[in-house]
Amino acid sequence: MQRALNIARDRFADWYQAVVAGADMAESSPVRGAMVIKPWGYGVWEQIQAELDRRIKATGHENCYFPLFIPLSFIAKEADHVDGFAKEMAVVTHHRLKMIDGRLQPDPEAKLEEPLVVRPTSETIIGDAFSRWIRSHRDLPLLINQWANVVRWEMRPRLFLRTTEFLWQEGHTAHASEAEAVAETAMALEMYRSFAEDVLAMPVIAGEKPENERFPGAVATWSIEAMMQDGKALQAGTSHFLGTHFAEAQNIKFQDDAGTLTLCNTTSWGVSTRLIGGVIMTHGDDDGLRLPPAIAPRQIVVVPMLRDKPEDEHVMAYCEELVKSLSKLSAFGQPLRVLLDNKKIKSAEKRWNWVRRGAPLILEVGPRDAAGANVSMMRRDDLRDGDKVKSVIKPRQDFLENAVQLLTEIQAGLYAEAKARLDANIKTGITDWAGVENYFAGGDDDFKGWLRISWSKPTGDALEKIGAQLKALKLTIRNAPLDQPETFAKCLFTGAAGVEEILIGRAY
């Protein structure tokens, strides 16, 4: 059968790259690990930004912008933070180039007194501002967000999933009490969960990261974890309770109503362009991407079937009117995003381009459709009947009346499909290490999903040991889901009394 892609999901890594390329979302750049995000990929990011930004503002946060460059000394202030990020830092050491021996290179005369790091995250530079902005309990809570790019010098980049430079949103807040800060962290986590599920149609498990997977410098880290179609986990968003660690390091203090100088409790939380990788690996199929309508830059694409004949004019006029009528409608609280694809390329090619890009609804309109007031409709979420492409002829008026409902159905359908996969592939009931080994035996390519097991939540060296044990099977602890039972089986690792259930699995 002829597919829109020439690689199927059984070669998942190759398939992923084929989808990104086929959907024309991004490409690698001359700089290793840094990607060019192309209009269709960036369009998805703009939808993510727009909707998440609404939610961030609705919960009382304000947007700011902090510098890309951070004085090296700032990073050095929080010891764990240094440990976590030192190995992946881009550093600016000079401010001028000079031609020396015929080669353009940094001018030794123009060496910076203090090197600047390119932000890998902004806790330190925002903390510095917080220490100046906060004086009184009346300045709290301070709720800030920024949309920015960050740089982490990663070893093995993968488009969208792990790039040297990536785009994200980072929330940073300061609070008068620990309880308030923890509540803020929970709020952000819940915002991410609902955003992932309702907007990206990507079901996730929200929970707390174990001690050894925490953000460097955090007291506690929570995450949402999504299951990709190869069974691996993708950490899709994080929320960190930083306690007073950064407040201590950066002197973020306030006078309470009794006049006592007190350290703030701070939080930070973020999601990145990685979400786009998650959407691809959650919803893509062997014909390319399938975009949830809520984030599709174009939800309906109209492809006129032109043949350089006089009736083309009528077809175009009909299509223009159709697009105009559709554009008056609203779905997911926003005006419908409709495109008339009038590029001067072959119609058949247009169709397959939109299939690969994952436009939720593709309408083909030929002379006979135009004459009969019909449209030929393809649903990207339900493209084929066996090997054949399902193209359904519908009266134009019916389509207009049902378009919004249809998009809502597609959104729900993609979620339901992914949710069923997630639920079916979290295995419970394994109670000893031999069972884990046995379950994850066999090839890396086998679909395994995750295990939900009980443990005694060891810390320190005991936890390190478990980490190493898991690592031998390429497993990690993903998180301890928020939703916990009343009673627990014995700890799978130690045999001690269980106190918590955790998810383990392979991850990106």
Partner RNA sequence: CGGAGCGUAGCUCAGCCUGGUAGAGCAUUAGCUUUGGGAGCUAAGGGCCGUUGGUUCGAAUCCAGCCGCUCCGACCA
User: Contact positions toward RNA, by CB under 7 A?
Assistant: 2-4, 6, 13-14, 17, 28, 32-33, 84, 87-88, 152, 154-158, 161-164, 166, 168, 215, 223, 235-236, 238, 270, 272-274, 305, 307-309, 345-349, 351-352, 364-369, 371-372, 374, 376, 391, 393, 444, 471, 474, 507-508
Looking at residue 259, the DSSP 8-state letter turns out to be S
Nearest-angstrom CA–CA distance, 195 and 256: 35
Residues 349, 174: Cα–Cα separation, whole Å: 53
Nearer to RNA, 157 or 207 (CB): 157
> Nearest approach, Cβ of 261 to RNA (angstroms)?
32
436: closest CA among 344, 380, 504? Answer: 504
- Which residue, 11 or 95, is less far from RNA as judged by CB? 11
By C-beta, is 233 or 492 nearer to RNA?
A: 233
Strand partners, 146: 170
Q: Which is nearer to RNA, 77 or 158 (CB)?
A: 158
479 three-state secondary structure: strand
Least distance (Å) from RNA to the CB of residue 307?
4
Q: For 463, list phi and psi in degrees, rounded to 5.
A: -70, -40
User: Distance of CA 223 to CAs 190, 228, 318, Å?
Assistant: 10, 16, 49
Q: How far is the CB of 308 from RNA (least distance, A)?
A: 6
Judged by beta carbon, residue 58 or residue 345, the one nearer RNA is 345
Contact assessment for residue 290 and residue 381, using Cβ atoms and an 8 Å cutoff: yes
**Residue length of the chain:** 508
Q: How far is the CB of 253 from RNA (least distance, A)?
A: 27
Q: How far is the CB of 330 from RNA (least distance, A)?
A: 27
Nearer CB in complex with RNA: 253/381: 381
Count other C-beta atoms under 10 Å from residue 39's C-beta: 11
Three-state secondary structure call for residue 162: strand
Least distance from RNA to the Cβ atom of residue 432, Å: 23
Contacts of 46 by beta carbon, 8 Å cutoff, 6+ apart: 297
Classified as helix, coil or strand, 485 is coil
* Residue number with CB closer to RNA (262 or 467): 467
Residue nearer to RNA on the CB measure, 253 or 448:
448
Torsion of CA 5, 6, 12, 13, to 10 degrees: -100
| Residue with smaller CB distance to RNA, 376 or 456 | 376
**CB-nearer residue toward RNA: 137 or 152:** 152
Distance CA 251, CA 254 (A): 10
Note whether 59 and 42 are within 8 A (CB).
no
List 203's β-bridge partners, or say none: none
**Considering beta carbons, is residue 364 or 501 the nearer one to RNA?**
364
Residue 499 structure tokens: 């106190």
Tokens of 336: 């419908």
Shortest Å, Cβ 258 to RNA: 38
Q: What are phi and psi of 63, to 5 degrees?
A: -85, 145
Tokens of 258: 């009794």
Distance CA 323, CA 328 (A): 9
Query: Minimal distance in Å, beta carbon 445 to RNA?
Result: 9
Q: In the 8-state DSSP scheme, what is residue 95?
A: S
Q: Which residues pair with 168 in a beta bridge?
A: 148, 272
Q: How far is the CB of 2 from RNA (least distance, A)?
A: 4
In the complex with RNA, the residue whose CB is nearer, 84 or 106, is 84
Closest contact distance (angstroms) between CB of 53 and RNA is 18
Give the nearest distance from C-beta 254 to RNA in angstroms. 29
In the complex with RNA, the residue whose CB is nearer, 114 or 387, is: 387
Max distance between CA atoms of the chain, in angstroms, equals 83
| 503 bridge partner residues | 452, 479
- The residues, ordered by sequence, that sit 6+ positions from 351 with a Cβ below 8 Å of its Cβ are 303, 362, 364, 378
Q: Is 4 buried (19+), middle (13-18) or exposed (0-12) by CB count in 10 A?
A: buried
Torsion angle, alpha carbons of 266, 272, 274, 275, to 10: 100
Q: How far is the CB of 440 from RNA (least distance, A)?
A: 12
Q: Are strands 361-365 and 300-304 parallel, antiparallel or unpaired?
A: parallel
**Minimal distance in Å, beta carbon 352 to RNA?**
4
* Torsion sign (Cα): 196, 199, 202, 205: positive
